[in-house]
Structure 1
């Protein structure tokens, strides 16, 4: 038995054979529907991928280097070392089962701390989001921002206070 579906025209309950979306009465809408779906299928398109890589991911040589670092074995082993050291507990709020590792002083601000385990801490998703927002204000990190000449903060407790509007 062939696979069928209901016609996509509102109010029409006629069954049509796959891969069609409309019955014979409403078939003129088929081309329009397929064209509207094309914008959602562009994610694997080479032009879109190239634009993402050159504009966002690899926008500078440093960003390209950072991306390659995070894909390497050195980062994977360093990340696992920190997760084991911190027992998968967020160092900012104490939430258990956190599995993200973050640089306390962002590497965009200080490249020297990229592979330093003392500059790494386990962090949960919500704290990571809040810390990223705070880093953009304090250090000036992020796309389109300018780095500021400020004192790097390595104490996670002080960062938590500053993230929450204190000191």
Structure 2
């Protein structure tokens, strides 16, 4: 059975066999639509990808090496071990007495602040997306991590319960 989708013409609910985008009644719009898509892809592809790769992801040598670490076999193995160790449960929620499933592995002390703890299993914890977002915001304020921030000389906090209490307000 062929794959189908709805006609892109506004108000038309006819089904179209892929890869077409318009039904036979509105097929005259197909060439214009494809041309617009190609024009958009060409203009966005080079500029957008370059900006994302050079300005955001690899803005300096330190960020580039961090990004490469997250693409390494070492990280894949560490991540798998930590997820299994924590039984896919958010450790920050668990410290507060809640049970939440999680798939993200996060550094307790950020690697921007302590690069020597990058591959330490003891510095990794499983976290849910809500806690991860809150912790990232807290790290930017407390440690000074993230884009356009300056690292601060503050004490490392490694206690999960203490961090969980601090990130509750974010």
Aligned residues: 162
Q: How far apart are residue 66 of structure 1 and its match?
A: 0.8
Alignment partners' CA distance in 2, 1:30 and 1:73? 44
Assess, with a 3 A threshold, how the Cα gap between structure 1 residues 38 and 74 changes in structure 2: closer, same or farther: same
- Structure 1 spans left out of the alignment, 5+ residues: 1-6, 13-17, 22-26
Tell me whether 1:105 sits opposite 2:131 in the alignment. no
TM-score under structure 2 length normalisation: 0.74
Q: Is the 8 A contact 2:104 2:129 kept in 1?
A: yes
Q: For residue 41 of structure 1, what is the aligned residue in structure 2?
A: 41
The correspondence of residues 3-82 of structure 1 with structure 2, limited to 5 A, is: 37=37, 40-42=40-42, 45-82=45-82
| Secondary structure of residue in 1 paired with 2:153 | coil
Alignment partners' CA distance in 2, 1:43 and 1:97? 40
TM-score under structure 1 length normalisation: 0.76
Q: How far apart are residue 45 of structure 1 and its match?
A: 2.1
Alignment partners' CA distance in 2, 1:139 and 1:111? 13
Q: How far apart are residue 162 of structure 1 and its match?
A: 1.0
Q: Is the 8 A contact 1:88 1:99 kept in 2?
A: yes
Alignment partners' CA distance in 2, 1:44 and 1:73? 31
Q: Is the 8 A contact 2:109 2:123 kept in 1?
A: yes
Which of these residues, 141, 147, 156, is aligned with residue 152 of structure 1? 156
Q: How far apart are residue 56 of structure 1 and its match?
A: 1.0
Q: How far apart are residue 164 of structure 1 and its match?
A: 2.1
Tell me whether 1:90 sits opposite 2:90 in the alignment. yes
RMSD over aligned Cα atoms = 3.6
Q: How far apart are residue 53 of structure 1 and its match?
A: 1.1
Assess, with a 3 A threshold, how the Cα gap between structure 1 residues 112 and 30 changes in structure 2: closer, same or farther: same
> In the TM superposition, what whole-angstrom CA distance separates every residue of 1:28-80 from its partner, at most 9, and x where no partner exists?
x9998667545652587234322221111110101111111111110011111
| Secondary structure of residue in 2 paired with 1:126 | helix
Runs of 4+ aligned structure 1 residues displaced above 4 Å come to 7-12, 18-21, 29-40
